[in-house]
Chain A
Amino acid sequence: MADVVLSINGITKSFAGNKVLDDINLEIQRGSVHALVGENGAGKSTLVKIVGGIYQPDSGTICMNGKTVHFAGPHDAINHGISIVHQELSLVPKMSIAQNVFSHREPVNRLGFIKWAELYRKTRELLKPLGLDIDPGRPVGGLSVGVQQLIEIAKALSTDARVLILDEPTSALSEKEVDMLYKVINDLKSRGVTSIFISHKLPEVFRVSDVISVLRDGRLVGTVRKEATTPEEIIRMMVGRPLGDLYPPKSSRVGERILSVENMTRVPAFRDVSLELFRGEILGFAGLVGSGRTEVARAIFGADRIDSGRIMLGGREVKIGSPRDAIRHGICYLTEDRKDLGLFLTKTVRSNIVASSLSKFVTRNGFLRKHEIEESSRYFVDYFRLKPSDDRALVMNLSGGNQQKALLAKWICAGPKVLIADEPTRGVDVGAKSEIHRHLRQLAESGVGVIVISSELPELLGLSDRIAVFNSGRIAAFIDGKGATQEDVMRYATL
């Protein structure tokens, strides 16, 4: 073999019984730019966290320069010349550039006092090759995200990193900043630094990398040289699995238009989004994390303000300034984060089920009709076969699947005309999952317009009649749910 700087041999890792990485074998050439691609949850981040010493593998070894190494923590990895630039910036905004670059490793004299002049000089030396000519004493807080990203890289290089791992470095950058970053990666390459580059975005993967490895469901599908492949092939490798018929049958008939969104914009989350939703259909929202799916849903629900655009309900324009307005118009939004944004964990199932529909259970003077609340809540507990079946149980004592069903009950209780369900089956076991699918389909059949947002492509393809594919804050395409393949969706989502 040529000059291998890092080899990963048979790495396996499980979290709570879920196998996240399964027997990964990978060799990284010295001085190359090696891209790791795959769907959300394919195991990319876990793999680099093992290489960076943050997680310990269950089995398998890592070799550097031919010698087996063992990393007990990030410190060991750094000492071996491996540094990670994480997806979330880890800089301290109020501290200076120099302090951030050399955090906890500042040059000190014998009494432990920081030698500021030397600190600034060393920082300047690191910043220069990155094309940054700024005062190292400036606080990081006021700098653009792109510059902060470069400072993160300087921080990684300050430890004499020979292998630099970049976990989705461009997700928050402007186009100009991305160009700057590529230049830096190429410069580093000419200095013999190896980069491992994680990204969702295939165009940039093809632009910057030499070698591409594809992960899927915790396995390595393959490693190819960039010259020897095409984006289409990479997409096939990313998704390539058959779709079971675990899903309820598709819509039999689609009725009149119930909701339409025209040229809705909220900078920078999404721009110029238009869509239509018809009675009786399930419209899927596909797209990678950060593509604007959830942001569009929140905007339709009035949780976030829009800069421009119109929302029409049943042919008439509606002004939605708050979730309260949306609910009054019959637009309901099941949040993706059920614990923090959806449920009242320390309250009873009954309280949760009626939380967004209290106004339906009051007399003219606002007094609660407790008997009706009890009846409705019991009805939904039975309908969704919640366990325990006592609706006075606290929601926090329910399993994930039952919590999710309680959340769905809460919104159905509100009597939606349009229901947007964001990741309705996240963290839910297989049984509850198909129950939730069935309920969503029934809801659509009963005349409600249903939008489902999901990161799981098979779920989206199995459930939706039509799919809107989001890419970088725009809808890239509408795809017919029948006969669409994961490749089709991924192509629009990544290209």
Chain B
Amino acid sequence: MSVVERTSDAERASDNVRIRSGYSIKSILGARETVLLLVSITFSIILSFLSPRFLSVNNLVSIATGMTYDVIMATGMTLVLIVGGIDLSVGSILGLTGVVTTMMLRSGVSIAVSVTAGLMLGVLLGAINGTMISNFKINPFIVTLGMMAIARGAAVVLTSGYFLSNLPPSYLILGQGKLLGIPFPIYVMLLLVILFEYLLKNWSPLYTIFYIGTNPDAAELSGIKVGRMILACYVISGFLSALAGVFMTSRLAMGYAQFGLGAELRAIAASVIGGASMSGGEGSIGGTFLGVLLLAIINNGFVLLNFSVYWQGVVNGLILVLAVAVDAFRRARRGERRI
């Protein structure tokens, strides 16, 4: 017994040294973000040898622009995953809110009002998701699967399947305008990533979603506002999906019911690649951003190397399953009961 105590004192001393030294090189290199960045860079180097077009400014800007919608949606998805849920309706909410915004614009409503209405519709749909899940305790998978079908269906009904073009030119500036040669949406995307990464780690209300996702019962008994934060995550997810819808319709100068098709899959894949766990309580916005980046580089490679675009869905699906499998394996090895 006394031997044990003596060694524990020694251990404590060495622990204290370790704590004071702060971030070690090992902890930086071992971080998932670093690994993701290295993998992305490796892919980029390989691609730049395979295709000289890869490193062209045009191509890089187009990768970054293409990423914005996924990053914005995946940010919301990551919050939802951390709080222990899932949101399958992000792509459909993008489609529906985009359609509603463009329809209002075409009927002469001002840009400010149309955009606000689109965003508020996203908030409303997210609030419906969140209320069903947090108040009525309905399975998030089912609730958002239903919302996915409803929102997409509504968008198709509203447009009868047609493209909605002829939007006011000043609306197109939102998605196409540039500052210092870089499109506006890229600034917004980066701003959102930094903002949410910072809030998630430092702002108390958002920080509590890690507790909720890890153990909702214990969180409730610790005095954390469980229901309210679950609702908030789905609302944020709905809002960000609608924001992506505004940028997409502006960038492509039209509204279309099928915009955002399959986006939920990429958003989930990116979040999990970036460190989010399907069983809640883990994830980071920075990691998610890098997850989208990795997917974007891979998909860009498909285009540059003239592979059939039709294979992209197959590859994205494979990446999703692989990322989730790795996550499950990691947890099983750590000895967690729930996988």
Q: Which residues of chain A have a CB within 8 Å of any CB of chain B?
A: 301, 303, 322-324, 326-328, 333, 335, 340-347, 351, 355-356, 358-359, 361-362, 365-368, 370, 387-390, 392, 396, 410, 414, 431
Query: Are A341 and B217 in contact, with the CB atoms below 8 A?
Result: yes
Which chain B residues lie closer than 8 Å to A342 at the CB level? 218, 221
Q: Which of B16, B207, B336 contacts A346 (CB 8 A)?
A: B336
Bound-state CA distance A342–B336 (Å) is 16
Q: Mark B14-25, 1 if CB is under 8 A from A, else 0.
A: 011011000000
Query: Are B205 and A351 in contact, with the CB atoms below 8 A?
Result: no
Asked if B283 is an interface residue, CB under 8 A from chain A, the answer is: no
Query: Are A358 and B215 in contact, with the CB atoms below 8 A?
Result: no
Query: Are A303 and B204 in contact, with the CB atoms below 8 A?
Result: no
Nearest-Cβ distance from residue B329 to partner chain A, whole angstroms? 15
Query: Are A366 and B211 in contact, with the CB atoms below 8 A?
Result: no
Query: Are A347 and B203 in contact, with the CB atoms below 8 A?
Result: no
Which chain A residues lie closer than 8 Å to B222 at the CB level? 323, 327, 355-356, 410
Which chain A residues lie closer than 8 Å to B282 at the CB level? 346
Bound-state CA distance A359–B222 (Å) is 11
Query: Are B281 and A347 in contact, with the CB atoms below 8 A?
Result: yes
Q: Which of B8, B15, B214, B334 contacts A390 (CB 8 A)?
A: B15
Bound-state CA distance A388–B336 (Å) is 20
List the B residue with the shortest CB-CB distance to A335. Answer: B221
Q: How many residues of B contact A (CB 8 A)?
A: 32
Q: Mark B306-339, 1 if CB is under 8 A from A, else 0.
A: 0000000000000000000000000000111000
Q: Which of A333, A343, A367, A431 contacts B215 (CB 8 A)?
A: A343
Asked if B224 is an interface residue, CB under 8 A from chain A, the answer is: yes
Nearest-Cβ distance from residue A6 to partner chain B, whole angstroms? 38
Q: Mark B185-216, 1 if CB is under 8 A from A, else 0.
A: 00000000000000000111101101100110
Query: Are B15 and A389 in contact, with the CB atoms below 8 A?
Result: yes
Which chain A residues lie closer than 8 Å to B218 at the CB level? 335, 340-344, 355
Asked if B106 is an interface residue, CB under 8 A from chain A, the answer is: no
Q: Do A388 and B215 contact each other (CB < 8 Å), given the known contacts A335-B221, A396-B335?
A: no
Which chain B residues lie closer than 8 Å to A365 at the CB level? 203
Bound-state CA distance A370–B204 (Å) is 10
Which chain B residues lie closer than 8 Å to A370 at the CB level? 202
List the A residue with the shortest CB-CB distance to B214. Answer: A344
Q: Which of A361, A366, A370 has the most CB of B within 10 A?
A: A366
List the A residue with the shortest CB-CB distance to B335. Answer: A396
Bound-state CA distance A326–B12 (Å) is 36
Q: Which of A362, A387, A392, A410 contacts B204 (CB 8 A)?
A: A362
Bound-state CA distance A347–B281 (Å) is 8
Query: Are B11 and A388 in contact, with the CB atoms below 8 A?
Result: yes
Closest 8 CB pairs of A and B: A356-B222, A327-B223, A324-B223, A389-B12, A344-B214, A366-B204, A362-B204, A355-B222
